[in-house]
Chains A and B, each alone.
Chain A
Amino acid sequence: MLVIKNLHASTGGTPILKGIDLEIAPGEIHAVMGPNGSGKSTLANALSGRPTTEITEGSVLFEGKDLTEMEPEIRAREGIFLAFQYPVEIPGVGNNYFLKASVNAVREHRGQPPLDAMDFLTLAREKLKLVNMPNELMNRPINAGFSGGEKKRNEILQMLLLEPKLCILDETDSGLDIDALREVAVGVNALRSPDRSMLIITHYQRLLDYIVPDQVHVLSDGKIVRSGGKELARELEETGYGWIEQQAASGASK
């Protein structure tokens, strides 16, 4: 589904990603972990097409299509979804209007007829229930005045509505208490299917107790320095990221 080869990317002229290789097959869940500043969010931004992240080298193929030349909205319509670490507040644009426009943009791209207001509302209510959010949330402006937990659940709600093929979760667990974390995990697990892949970016292991990954990768200084099974996440939780820095320091001294 996703094939990343030798990906280099920079933000504001500063190189952040320095050669990422990663393959995700349909149905697989991959976790990317790493210390702050290792390039985790830049990877998410490079995949979703944030204009401030510039891909300088390498290739990204999504279902065989070159992603690097695609506008962000086209990537979204093709089935890539980024759950933001910091969802943006947009006062003045209603959640309802936004989500309907978004769902219908994706449907149109897939050759499906648009949902009318009634059908959309029915669908939205079903998904709202999954993330334990009140219906009145639809009448509020996008994320405006939402608590941290509500913002993250709103991200998962959007993911449930758009039914993407590749879900990228950028530190979705940050700032969540344990109850909110569980609710988010319920929403994410509802989307698990043999043809849907996920890339979960996180600093901590605890989200991975609820969403169990097939593979875990450790990112350091823009490169994947170690890959392994789900037990790697637990190991990292126990040992911390200190060994990476030591490794980097000894590498530099050689």
Chain B
Amino acid sequence: MSGKNAGRVNPVYTAQLGHYRDAQAAFASERSGDPEWLVGLRANAIDRFAEIGFPSTRLEEWKYTNVAPIAKDALVLRDGDAPEIEGAESLSSAIARDPEALRARFARCPASKDRAFALLNDAFLANGWWVSVPTNADVGAPIHLRIDGAAAGEVLHPRVLVDVAPGARATVVIELEGGPGLTNLVADIEVAANASLDLVLLQASEGDARGEAGFQVSTASARVARDGRFRSHTLTTSGTLVRNDLDVLLAEEGADCELRGLFLGSGSRLIDNHSAVDHAVPHCNSRELYKGILGGRSKGIFRGRVLVRPDAQKTDATQSNPNLLLGEGAEIDTKPQLEIYADDVKCSHGATVGQLDEDAVFYLRSRGIGVAEARALMILAFANEILDALPEGVASDAVAKGLQAVLEEATS
């Protein structure tokens, strides 16, 4: 272990690095006919991954999330091809159709650098979709990308590219089905000038609501151009260990983003949401609201970073993370962060952690409503602020089922 990387390598998890290197070599040899740039991208990624390994809790970014349950096993690649979906082209089809266009697209994705899970996704890059919404198109119905869960001992590395061309408008749903294995998603999003995108990340599989499964890691980056609008909705009700990273770059004036999230914990699940908004230029708005409801012995983590660069005057940024703790053993670690280098800005942030308002519960009971129903009503009311703002055509049934599991635990 080199001194330089000493802090980055968790010695406990190096045991499987050779496994992933071998698996990648086998994977690459099967795909030796792929474009050279892709072969190179995969090779560089596995090299870097083998250097840094899985993140340890000594890294600030992973302080509260121990990935040992993922890193301890030699997970087997679940290979497969994404089905063709209306409005979304599978990556394998795009590679065959226009490899040069895809190369140019990947060249615009931010480098995975020291992000172990994104590097792994790069190393096994093959499976996924490219969603391109043409100029001025208004896609009414949501484009729904469903990703099957990984079986026990398996890992999936889906990749999603979303491009919304100037003046276009769309809703994209990425639904991660649960499974006892690891789903390691990477998504890259470009919202062009005057375009608008609602992105829903749905981690709400039914089996998981009972606490049976699985590991989900997602790394998403979005860039928003002049007067573009990006809204994300991250809904997490399933998974035993979930980590979501979302980075948004407000790259041109008038760009606007709204990051919304709802995470529900029951049993002993862990849900970790990290986000970063980069105000690179003046006159951009960002709104962030993540709400956590944690029952049982579950654990939630929220890290939201808003960076306002020196040039980004007239920035308007808010960030809020209210949480409801329902279980005696439930826990939340929340840290909204503002870093402001401009002087003419409007920024606010806040986090709260509370129990159910017992005065309100008594108020409902004093009108004849039973105690379990009163508590359920209060919990739903807390969640509805996020669910009510979901884009049209996105069913929140799955989330409602997840809520039910939390309610049952909280009111039993």
Residues on B with C-beta less than 8 A from A190 are: none
- A43-85: CB near B (< 8 Å → 1, else 0) gives 0000011110000000000000000000111011100011010
B368 x A77 contact (CB < 8 A): yes
B377 x A93 contact (CB < 8 A): yes
Number of A-B contacts (CB under 8 A): 73
Does A180 count as interface, using CB distance less than 8 angstroms? no
Shortest CB distance A41–B (Å):
13
B325-345 residues with Cβ-Cβ distance < 8 A to A are none
B368 x A105 contact (CB < 8 A): yes
B362 x A92 contact (CB < 8 A): no
B368 x A73 contact (CB < 8 A): yes
Q: Which of B132-140, B219-227, B352-360 contacts A (4 or more CB under 8 A)?
A: B352-360
| Interface size band for A | 20 to 34
| Interface size band for B | 20 to 34
Does B13 count as interface, using CB distance less than 8 angstroms? no
Contact (A98, B364) CB under 8 Å given A51-B358, A91-B381, A92-B385: yes
Interface of B: prevailing SS: helix
Residues on B with C-beta less than 8 A from A50 are: 362, 366
A141 to B363, CA, bound (A): 14
Residues on B with C-beta less than 8 A from A73 are: 365-366, 368-371, 374
B368 x A88 contact (CB < 8 A): no
Does B380 count as interface, using CB distance less than 8 angstroms? yes
- B362-406: CB near A (< 8 Å → 1, else 0) gives 111111111101100110111011000000000000000000000
Residues on A with C-beta less than 8 A from B368 are: 73, 76-77, 102, 105-106, 109, 162
Shortest CB distance A24–B (Å):
19
Shortest CB distance B357–A (Å):
7
Does A101 count as interface, using CB distance less than 8 angstroms? yes
A48 to B367, CA, bound (A): 10
Shortest CB distance B378–A (Å):
7
Does A212 count as interface, using CB distance less than 8 angstroms? no
Shortest CB distance B166–A (Å):
38
B381 x A82 contact (CB < 8 A): no
Shortest CB distance A252–B (Å):
35
A90 x B363 contact (CB < 8 A): yes
Contact (A158, B367) CB under 8 Å given A72-B362, A92-B385: yes
Shortest CB distance A150–B (Å):
16
B357 x A88 contact (CB < 8 A): yes
Most chain B beta-carbon neighbours within 10 Å: one of A51, A72, A75, A77: A72
- A163-186: CB near B (< 8 Å → 1, else 0) gives 000000000000000000000000
B378 x A49 contact (CB < 8 A): no
Does A148 count as interface, using CB distance less than 8 angstroms? no
Does A87 count as interface, using CB distance less than 8 angstroms? yes
Tell which of A48, A84, A93 touches B378, judged by Cβ atoms closer than 8 Å.
A93
Tell which of A81, A84, A105, A141 touches B369, judged by Cβ atoms closer than 8 Å.
A105
A98 to B361, CA, bound (A): 12
A79-125 residues with Cβ-Cβ distance < 8 A to B are 81-82, 84, 87-88, 90-93, 98, 101-102, 105-106, 109
Instruction: Give the residue name and chain of the A residue nearest to B362 (CB).
Output: A50
A105 x B370 contact (CB < 8 A): yes
Q: List 24 A-B contacts (CB under 8 A).
A: A50-B362, A50-B366, A71-B365, A72-B362, A73-B371, A73-B374, A76-B366, A76-B368, A84-B363, A90-B357, A92-B382, A93-B364, A93-B378, A93-B380, A98-B377, A101-B369, A102-B367, A102-B368, A105-B367, A105-B368, A105-B369, A106-B368, A142-B363, A158-B367
Interface residues of B, Cβ cutoff 8 Å to A: 357-360, 362-371, 373-374, 377-378, 380-382, 384-385
The 9 closest A-B pairs by CB, nearest first: A92-B381, A105-B368, A102-B367, A76-B368, A88-B363, A72-B365, A73-B365, A106-B368, A93-B381
